[in-house]
A and B are shown apart, each in its own frame.
Chain A
Amino acid sequence: MLAWKRLSRSKIIWPLITLGILMLFNLFFTPNFFRIEMLEGHLFGNLIDILKNGAPIMILAIGLTLVIATHGIDISVGSVVAISAGVVAMLIGGDLAGNPKYPIAFAMGAALVACIAAGMWNGMLVSWIGMQPIIATLILFVAGRGIAMVTTNAMVIWLYAKPFALLGQGYLFGLPFSLYIVAFLLLATYLVTRRTAVGMFIEAVGINPKATRFAGINARGILFWCYAFSGLCAGVSGLVVCSTVMSADGNNAGNLAELDAILAVVLGGTSLNGGRFFLLGSMVGALIIQTLTTTIYAFNVAPEIAQVVKALVVYAVSLLQSETFRARVAGMFARREVAA
């Protein structure tokens, strides 16, 4: 009982329970959901799909976790995904024989530079000009999609350069390559934030920026780099998205991804009020969202009601996550015990 109490206080347990419930549902009701086979040297199954298709949201969630920890928000990440996809696709070009216009590494680098610049723009507005984060990033949320449309001439560009497919479709040691990108970013972020004082600084900025500044910490700099990092993550996510379908679609790439990523961070236990952040929780949050999507496809929920089903599950998950709600329910049961 005591162990459970300690466990229930740890933030990661509730998202894990949610993920477990979703998986349990699939175990009983969706045939073949857990079947994994070896196919042409890589693993193949719904679980692999969840990891692979969840990767873009997971990458976005890493950057957003830090931004949200500073009591900020970045709603431009979906549009930055489109910019990244647009830039890389334009530079690689839609040559049918698969010969890239510019070297693929250069194209990817240029896309990332553009996205870091986008993030820095957000960071500048928030940290130096002092704009409200939701408004500051709203600018790029709208303009970013326009920029993406301009880079692609509002056309969908199909890519045929084989090596670029590795990011979103390739496999390494039987697992999707995108997972290694997630793992690398996650590890790097973990080391930088938790093995140095940076993580604490970020949390301090999120709790009380004024006090943080008086304590001699460069609060502005921390804010600025968090947004720049979020831009970088959105850029990487855009490369993966583009590579997954080998096409750049200015209007649809990363469309509404910012909402999924924010939801992932919140489901993972990081509060929108800033302060403590949980990188692993955000990853579990992203997996919950992707599991839900894949479940809807695999279970063949009619598209007319799929959105409602999704909303209901998210609603239930949010209730489960809420400490106040859990306390209420626990209180109800406690009272009943007394009455008996």
Chain B
Amino acid sequence: MKKWGKIFALVAAVLLVLSVAAFAQPKHWVVGFSQIGSEREWRTADTISVQNAFLEDPTFTLIYSDAQQRQENQIKAIRSFIARRVNAILFTALVETGYGPVLQEAKRAGIPVVMIDRDVAKEDRGLRLTIMGSDFIKEGEKAGEWLADYLKKKGLDDGKKAINIVELQGTTGSAPAIERKTGFANVLKSHANWKITRSQTGNFTSSEGKQVMEAFLKADKNIDVLYAHNDQMALGAIQAIKEAGLKPGKDIIIVGVDAVKGAFEAMVAGEMNASIECSPLLGPQAVLAMRDLRDGKKLPARIYTIEGIFDETNAAEALPTRQY
């Protein structure tokens, strides 16, 4: 009997120590992160930022899954997160639709899903907790507003003469493509003489952006402005414009989105006019959100990143500080 008492005391002591430790230190959380792949340096910077931010906080373990640009891989990754009973899931959606069932499974398992950068379709948004990242509609609007200012400053827009704009869209069906198009179109409404003469997908890659621009330049001699949903396509298109014997940045005004290093190099060379920043450095904000979630705080319905606009006036100055 005495022996049992000793064991009981020992167990009680251990439990006490453990519970004190648990109080002193926040509960350890395992977070799953389903990334779509690394289709461009923007995505790479985003991934590294999230990974590093979680590494710095020892109370978190991040399980990273690269979907290699395939939706089925993402669905599999989220299912495996659920099976491993992670505490929360960070998720960047490759396309908007098709994630309903797997998000339903996460919800049933009681695992909160926080979207990073790319959201799911409207009807599935009730299944995820919040989205952090850039406002793509705002980016489209910023691009339009920058263009209006620039044209006014250069005296190119008298409000009557037609301004012909061609648009290089992102991957068909993806949130940034849909919303950057919508945002730009919002600004377009207040400029009766602006017209999008051609709009085609360049799939967010430079080689497709170049091919599409080549075809545009052959079909249409009167292009005043190129609006590209990302810098990669704009940079590809710049080469097509050069091959057509025109001066990019002068004969055709070029506005991109993302503000990647290549765009800064092109702006410094005078071949591109502006890039709307879409910052990928989301890691620190993601860690903050996870801490709030762990502490039982309520997250806002949208968490925005702070972003700027770069053009000829400030590109040279900012170039050396760019991380992506």
Contact = CB atoms under 8 A, between A and B. Distances in A.
Given A39-B244, A96-B265, A304-B172, A298 B215 contact: yes
Contacts of A169: 239, 243
A149 B41 CA distance: 11
A181 interface: no
A306 B199 CA distance: 12
A31 B198 CA distance: 14
Nearest to A246: B239
A304 B170 CA distance: 12
Contacts of B205: 249, 252, 255
Given A45-B218, A251-B39, 6 more contacts: A155-B44, A158-B261, A245-B236, A246-B239, A293-B211, A298-B219
Interface in B248-304: 260-262, 265
**Interface range on chain B: under 10, 10 to 19, 20 to 34, or 35 or more?**
35 or more
B58 interface: no
The main secondary structure of chain A at its interface with chain B is mixed
A241 interface: yes
B5 to A, nearest CB: 60
A44 B69 contact: no
B100 interface: no
A140 B239 CA distance: 31
A46 interface: yes
A156 B239 contact: no
Contacts of B243: 44, 169
Interface string A23-66: 00000001110010001100011100100010000000000000
B72 to A, nearest CB: 15
Contacts of A304: 172-173
Nearest to B40: A156
A297 B169 contact: no
A32 B221 CA distance: 11
Contacts of B206: 156, 245, 247, 249
B218 A46 contact: yes
A76 interface: no
B174 to A, nearest CB: 11
B211 A297 contact: yes
Interface of A: 30-32, 35, 39-40, 44-46, 49, 53, 96, 145, 149, 153-156, 158, 169, 241, 244-247, 249-253, 255, 293-294, 297-298, 300, 303-304, 306-307
Nearest to A295: B215
B216 A297 contact: yes
A297 B172 CA distance: 14
A35 B220 CA distance: 12
Interface string B31-67: 0000001111100100000000000000000000000
Contact of B200 (A49, A303, A307): A303
A121 B265 CA distance: 39
8 smallest beta-carbon distances between A and B, as pairs: A297-B215, A303-B201, A245-B206, A252-B205, A154-B44, A155-B41, A303-B172, A298-B215
A253 B232 CA distance: 13
Contacts of A300: 198, 200, 219
Contacts of A40: 245
Nearest to B219: A298
Contacts of B88: none
A251 B215 contact: no
Contacts of A244: 207, 210, 239
